[in-house]
Amino acid sequence: MRSISEKYLALPTGVMFLIGSVYAWSLFVPSLTHDYGLRASQTQLVFGTIIATFTLSMLFSNRLQRRFSARGMYIGSAFFFAAGYLLASLSGGNFLLIFLGIGVLSGIGTGLGYMTSIALPVKWFPHKKGFITGLAASGFAAGSIALTLWAGWLLNSGVTVFAVFRTIALVYGLLIFAMAFLLPPNPLGNATGFRPIKAKKSMLLFASMFMGTFAGLLVIGNIKLMGAGAYSSNQLSLAIIVFSAANLSGRLFWGWLSDRKPVFILLTIALLTQGLAAFFIAWIELPIASFLLLVMLVGAGFGANFVLFAYETTRVFGLDNLGRIYPIVFLGYGIAGVAGPVTGGVLYDMAGDFKMASLISLLFSVLGLVLFSWHRNRRPKTITNSSK
C-alpha cells in the first residue's frame, strides 16, 4: 500500500486543486452585478449554494464510493462539475440558470471529488494524518489562486464572464476525468475497523464546524464588496489571492502542527485569529497593507477548520469511519456556506456595510470554540486503531 500511496499521491491533490476553484467566485461578482444586473445577495446565494450542495453530496459519497469505486466518483465529479459551468456559460445572465449550473450541478461535482480526495491520502498515510490531510486540503485552496490569476487575466483582456465559465467547464472537466483513469485498482484497500456509529455523537463537531467556518466564508464571498470604494480593483483581486494563499499555507501549517500539538489549542488560536481579523476589517478604515494583512489572517484561520476537524474526526471515530462521519461534520461548513456569504450580502444590501455581519462572525468563532471544548469533554472512546 505504501508504494501505491507514494506513486499516486498527486492525484487526489490534483483533483482538489481543480474543484477548489469555488473560492475564486468573488472574482466573477462585479461582472455579474454591474454588467448583468444580478443583486449582491443573488451572487452570494450562488456561492453559498455551491458550498451547501457539495457538502450535502458528501453525505452520500461513502455509500457511492463503496458501490462505484474511487474512479467512479472522480468520473461523476468531472461530469457534474463540467455540466454546471457549461450551463452557466449558456445562461446569458439568467440567475436561475447560473444558480442551477454553478450552485447545484458543480456543487455536486465538487462534493463527489472532495471526500474521495480526503479519504485516499489519509488511508495511505495513517501515521501522518494531520499533515497529509493538510496537503490534500491545500490543493483545494491552491485552485482558487490559480483560477483567480488565470480568469482574472481573461476578464481583464475583455473575455466575458460566460466565456470564462465555458473554458473552466471544458478544461477542468477533462482534467478531472483523465485523473480518474490514472488511479490504481482498489486504491482505498479494505476496511478493517468498521462499526456502526450513532450520528448524534458527531453533532457537536458539526455545530462547531459551522461556527468556525462562518467568519471565513463571510469574508471570502464578499472581499470585493467589502473593499469597494476604498481600494482599486487590482488591489481587491490581490486580496483574493492573499486570502487564498493564506488559506492554502494555513492548511499545511495547521496539518503539520496537529501531528505535534493538541488540536484544541491550535483551533483556539485559529478561530480567534479569523474572528477578530474579520471584525476589524469591517469596523476600521485601513490602508491597503493592513487590509491585506487582516485578509491573510482570516484566510490562515479559516484553513485550519478543514484540517483540524478532519483530524479530530479521524482520531475519535477511526480511519475506516472517516467516510461516514466526516461528511456529517462537514455539513456544518455547508450550512455556513449559505449563512455566511448570504448574511453578508443581505446586510450589505440593507445597510451598505458589513459591520453587523462581522460582529456576528466574531461571536460565532467564539461559540465554535465553546462547542468544540464541550465535544472534547464528552467525546466517545476511539473505536478503531486510529489514535495518535
pLDDT for 2 equals 47
Other beta carbons within 10 angstroms of residue 264's beta carbon come to 15
Ranges of H-type helices in 99-232: 106-124, 129-156, 161-180, 203-220, 223-226
Quote the CA–CA distance of 221 and 3 in Å, as a whole number: 40
- Inform me whether the pLDDT recorded for 68 exceeds 50: yes
Segment 320-343 mean pLDDT: 78
Segment 185-204 mean pLDDT: 55
> Could you report the per-residue pLDDT of 237-291, keeping only the tens digit for each?
788 778 878 888 888 888 888 878 888 889 889 989 988 988 888 788 788 888 8
Compute the mean pLDDT over every residue in the chain, rounded to the nearest whole number. 80
Segment 204-228 mean pLDDT: 78
pLDDT band at 388 (very low <50, low <70, confident <90, very high): very low
- Inform me whether the pLDDT recorded for 384 exceeds 50: no
For residue 65, give the nearest of 126, 10, 117, 135 by alpha carbon.
Answer: 117
> Could you report the per-residue pLDDT of 114-167, keeping only the tens digit for each?
888 887 877 777 777 677 777 777 888 788 788 888 888 888 888 888 999 999
Segment 355-366 mean pLDDT: 83
Segment 299-319 mean pLDDT: 84
What domains can be seen in the chain, in order of their start residue?
A: 2-186+196-378 (1.20.1250.20)
pLDDT for 194 equals 42
